[in-house]
Amino acid sequence: MALGSIHLTPQLVQAVRDTVDILDVAGDVTTLKPTGGTRYKGLCPFHKEKTPSFHVDTSNGLYYCFGCGAGGDAIKLHMETSGDDFPATIEALAQRYGIPLPAAPARGAGGRERRDLTQVLEAAAAFFQRELKASEFARTYLENRRIPPELVKSFGLGYAPDGWRFLVSALQGKIPVADLVAAGLVGKSEKTGDPYDRFRHRLMFPIHAPNGRLVGFGGRTLGDDTAKYVNTSETDEFHKGRLLYGFHQAKKTLRETGRAVLAEGYFDVLGLVTSGVEGAVAGMGTALTADQARLLGRYVDEVTVAYDGDEAGEKAFQRALPVLLEAGLHVRRAAFPAGEDPDSLRLAEGPDAVRDAVEGAKDAVWLEIERLMPGNSTPASNARAAQAISELLRQVRDSVARGDYTRRAAQDLGVPENVFHKKVGSSLYYDPSRKERAADVSPAGGEEKALQLLFDGDPPPRLPYPLPPEEIFFDEDCRNIYAAFCALYRSEGGHPPTANEVLAKLSSEGGAIDRMARLLLEESDSGDEDLDEVLSGLVRRWAKQQNKVELMRQIQQAEDEGDHERRDRLIKEKQTLLRILHPEMTGRYF
């Protein structure tokens, strides 16, 4: 059955979830040894280590690495180690365990039938590679750019000949024209409707999904075409904003080293690899997207930005930095001479110069802080710089790193550290969309402790009282776990769900499953702590925040709008919340 042609039903997903053995999946990527009961331990497949910190619990079907923080269930483990997306993972695991696959026509955007274009693209790739071997002009071009033949082969480079129907003619009778059009390889004349090759006289770069499946091409003109680069048109499988060139080839290195080098173009990747720089990837000719940054974040902790050493490259770096920081990545910036990129520097000064630039990359956040510092220190210029720097630092996910940047920036600005720290932290404190706000409001350990106590038994003890609302959990992953628990708790008439039932409800919510894996696998130090007391503490914290921020804002808004009825109602709500903060409150929560 062709990839992508299955009907992904809830029943199929549940059958896979019920059948898959995490010990099988984990055993494919690391050697595990029993540690007692249903638990196993081995070297982590996601980062280099000498002492095993990768734990697997077969009773819950979970894994967690206490070294790098990777965790989840068997489905996620397959996704992370294979590069398959969720549908492909379900298909692969179903086939592995002999689960019948229901077939149905796949549908793309707008409900149109979705073709499996893999064979079409692979046939085109073979054609382009044959044409490269036959074209002295294209081969000479690569030789002049000193791209080694083994790299040409491993990256599957090809050549689209200079004509309107070479590809169409070569594949005629083998591949339907409609499929070539759907794959973005062929267009049709508006006047005659005749098909024509979209790529002409171009060096062809195959582009793969993270799992290695060919999804499209990029073409670099070898003539005087005004469009220097042309990519495959967007299809159901080819989305420029979700892909990184060279990622498939670099994936193993990325996992092992935890570091990536992010360049701007195809030849930059080839130039970096030729220079001995590992883990090189590139965007697809557009600004870096959040999807691309998150893809990197699944495999690495650190990214070195190797953009061009010109004004355009610097501006592209400034746009990419907050996107990378938001994905939780530590970022460095490799400095290239003016007008040079990784490949041109290699050709001009040799591979050593490229390696030196990458290895000497500096902390990108601090470089940006230095750029934002005012040239002439005045109260107004310092205020503007403080505002810009604080906006940048709010993107830094790691609270320790953010605190260090804040301290150093405050010193250079001549601003009291506590004042600047408050400016940086204010948005984190009140913005409900930020994952890290719990750490800034109060220790997140209280939320995790509450969840551990909820799952302290198997099944957990019956809870004789209504549970407080989900909003008391500020951390998004903890809140998602708690919400799943509460939904099942209510649907079962007050019977607490098991950890496995909650995991099934969480489905593919990666972050929540990661967190739950760690909470269940780490040794609990709950001792004599009482769930009621921990939850009450979270309620009081939430009520305090609501009282200080949200209700005051709403009351003021109602006052400004002259809506006195709403104002009075909000004041009563505020008074109710205030009572929650005091020990004399009558109800346990409300």
Alpha helices in 374-509 (DSSP H): 379-393, 399-413, 417-430, 437-441, 445-454, 476-491, 499-506
Last residue of a domain, one of 212, 238, 264: 238
Q: What local confidence, expressed as pLDDT, does residue 145 receive?
A: 94
Q: What local confidence, expressed as pLDDT, does residue 12 receive?
A: 85
**392-414 confidence digits (pLDDT tens):** 998 888 777 888 888 888 888 88
Question: Is there a single domain that holds both residue 219 and residue 275?
Answer: no
Last residue of a domain, one of 49, 79, 104: 104
Question: Is there a single domain that holds both residue 466 and residue 448?
Answer: yes
Is 5 domain-assigned?
Answer: no
Question: Is there a single domain that holds both residue 394 and residue 455?
Answer: no
Is 368 domain-assigned?
Answer: no
What are the structure tokens assigned to 395, written together?
């993107």
Alpha helices in 28-102 (DSSP H): 74-82, 86-96
Q: What local confidence, expressed as pLDDT, does residue 295 receive?
A: 87
Task: Check if the beta carbon of residue 331 is closer than 8 Å to that of residue 382.
Answer: no
**Domain extent for 58:** 10-104
Question: Is there a single domain that holds both residue 562 and residue 445?
Answer: yes
Residue type, 583: P
Is 2 domain-assigned?
Answer: no
- Which residue positions in the chain have pLDDT lower than 50? 1-4, 105-114, 426-443, 582-590
**226-273 confidence digits (pLDDT tens):** 889 988 888 777 888 889 999 989 988 887 888 999 999 999 999 999
Question: Is there a single domain that holds both residue 581 and residue 455?
Answer: yes
Question: Is there a single domain that holds both residue 133 and residue 99?
Answer: no
- Number of domains into which the chain is organized: 5
- Give the CA dihedral 157, 159, 160, 161, nearest 10 degrees: -170
Q: What local confidence, expressed as pLDDT, does residue 572 receive?
A: 72
Query: In DSSP terms, which residues pair with 330 in a beta bridge?
Result: 302
Q: Does the pTM exceed 0.75?
A: no
Question: Is there a single domain that holds both residue 494 and residue 571?
Answer: yes
Question: Is there a single domain that holds both residue 269 and residue 215?
Answer: no
Counts of helices then strands in the chain (DSSP H, E): 27, 16
Question: Is there a single domain that holds both residue 457 and residue 416?
Answer: no
Three-state DSSP class for 33? Answer: strand
What are the structure tokens assigned to 354, written together?
């490229």
Is 142 domain-assigned?
Answer: yes
Question: Is there a single domain that holds both residue 152 and residue 269?
Answer: no
Task: Check if the beta carbon of residue 441 is closer than 8 Å to that of residue 453.
Answer: no
Three-state DSSP class for 102? Answer: coil
What is the distance in angstroms between the CA of the first residue and the CA of the last residue of the chain? 56
Question: Is there a single domain that holds both residue 224 and residue 257?
Answer: no
The Cα 60–Cα 485 span in angstroms is 15
Residue 274: which residues within 8 A CB-CB, separation 6 or more? Answer: 146, 147, 148, 151, 346, 351
Residue 499 burial (10 A CB sphere; 0-12, 13-18, 19+): buried
Three-state DSSP class for 91? Answer: helix
Q: What local confidence, expressed as pLDDT, does residue 460 receive?
A: 55
Question: Is there a single domain that holds both residue 267 and residue 291?
Answer: yes
The Cα 396–Cα 328 span in angstroms is 7
Is 400 domain-assigned?
Answer: yes
Beta pairing class for 302-305 and 280-282: unpaired
Task: Check if the beta carbon of residue 187 is closer than 8 Å to that of residue 233.
Answer: no
Residue 519: which residues within 8 A CB-CB, separation 6 or more? Answer: 448, 451, 452, 455
The Cα 300–Cα 262 span in angstroms is 12
